[in-house]
Amino acid sequence: MNAMTEMAPTESQDPLLFTDNAANKVKELIEEEGNAELKLRVFVSGGGCSGFQYGFTFDEITNEDDTV
């Protein structure tokens, strides 16, 4: 028999937590593109049967409602 432990969700002041390795990889990929204006855009697409879809791309544009 398995005992289930409930864990309370933790809240962070940061909207997205990034490891140093991830940040270094993004920096490397942007350098490969040769465009210092690029930023990593992380997005969530709406539900459906399979739930939310998460993705990312590079973008030069910063929108008014973006978190930077």
31-63 pLDDT tens trace: 999 999 999 999 888 877 878 888 999 999 999
Question: How many residues comprise the chain?
Answer: 68
Alpha carbon separation from 55 to 5, 10, 29, 62 (Å, rounded): 31, 23, 16, 17
pLDDT score of 5: 59
How many domains in the chain? 1
Neighbours of 41 (CB within 10 A): 15
Residue bearing the bigger pLDDT, 59 or 17: 59
Query: Does some domain include residue 64?
Result: no
Predicted model pTM: 0.66
Task: Note down the domain range covering 48.
Answer: 20-59
Query: Does some domain include residue 6?
Result: no
Q: What is the spatial distance between Cα 4 and Cα 34, in angstroms, rounded to a whole number?
A: 49
Query: Does some domain include residue 32?
Result: yes
35 CB-near residues (< 8 Å, 6+ apart):
60
